[in-house]
Amino acid sequence: KKRKSEYNYIISLLKYNKFGTDTKKWSRYLAARSIEFSHTERMVTELTDKTPFTKVLVANRGEIAIRIFRACYDLGLRTVAMYSNEDINSLFRIKADEAYLIGENKSPLGAYLDIPSIIDLAKRRGVDAIHPGYGFLSENADFARACEEAGIKFIGPPSNVLAKMGDKLSAKAIAKKCNVPTIPGSTEPLKDADDALEKATSYGFPIILKAAAGGGGRGMRRCDTPEEVKPAFDLVSSEAKKAFGNDDIFIEKFLVEPKHIEVQILADEHGNVVHLGERDCSLQRRYQKVVEIAPAFSVPQEIRDRLCADAVKIAKEVGYVNAGTVEFLVDKSGSYYFIEM
């Protein structure tokens, strides 16, 4: 009973990272409370060994950051917020243990895409993990690689996996390798607006222009006529550059009124991959999901099973680690196509 009480006491201390793995401080602290350190040394070692990091910087803003801070608090992790000039009065910056200005001379979006400044801040403040949230740098392989080179844990897939799956064109190539259908479209970034118009004419309208490094519905424009292609190309390229720091865009045949079905997967570092079922994300506004319904009862069970199996297949093929979402479109005939991860 005494040992169990001591164990629970140490867990409560570890939750707030009292002394980390400093055994001398632990020994003095516990001796002052009449707890013999030899009884608890193993527990301290085991429990601290299970915590790969203790201080997390969130490279994002708004509610995304607040949710991560809340989860870190529950895990007893210290948190660091970064904010642009424009966000100096935003709520999220006071929800972290520490908060620092980033990208002082940059645009509101540019501040959150400034990889060298973010890594420098993390080093100066003793951060050992960075959570990118979603959007911004969350699918940026260069950012993940910069974290790895700095000895900071990137909370997400490894950089080599992001390089393959964060870019939609590369991801489509991997899906094809797995014999998973993809929508007809360009396999390389478009050179210019004339190249886009030429390919759009060959595929037949309607078509859609997409940011290769995009996500969250950003950097996408539908075109129904040749006259719409060049203006849309400039808009998508500009939006992609501002939102993702990469202005590569590509073209796909636009599917009219498809079902947008997503499969959530989880993968560990030992090659184990599971799916958590599928959801219907077809109800959207400006390519942003409004309502997600699970299970996706609008699609036959046989197709849903195949989508889940293909999602796991793609994740295993690329050696995926962490949480991920594999997205598909299902047309009116029941044919389905991988679009991105």
* SS3 label, residue 208: strand
Residue 207: partners with Cβ closer than 8 Å, 6 or more residues away: 199, 200, 222, 223, 229, 251, 252, 253, 254
* SS3 label, residue 265: strand
Give the strand order in the sheet containing 153-154.
Answer: 98-101, 78-83, 55-58, 129-131, 153-154
Reading the block at residue 217, the tokens are 């519905």
Rg for the chain, CA atoms, rounded: 23
CA distances from 207 to 186, 187, 220 (A): 11, 15, 11
Asked if 290 and 269 touch (Cβ cutoff 8 Å), the reply is no
153 is catalytic: no
* SS3 label, residue 325: strand
* SS3 label, residue 20: coil
**Which long-range contacts does 31-37 make (Cβ < 8 Å, 24+ apart)?**
35/6, 35/9
Asked if 234 and 266 touch (Cβ cutoff 8 Å), the reply is no
Cα–Cα distance, 285 to 301 (Å, whole number): 26
Phi-psi region of 307 (alpha: psi -120 to 50; beta: other; left: phi over 0): alpha
Query: Which entry of 253, 289, 313, 316 is annotated as an active-site residue?
Result: 289
Closest CA to 10 of 47, 50, 55: 47
Reading the block at residue 301, the tokens are 């069970």
How is residue 254 annotated by DSSP?
A: P
Residues identified as active-site: 289
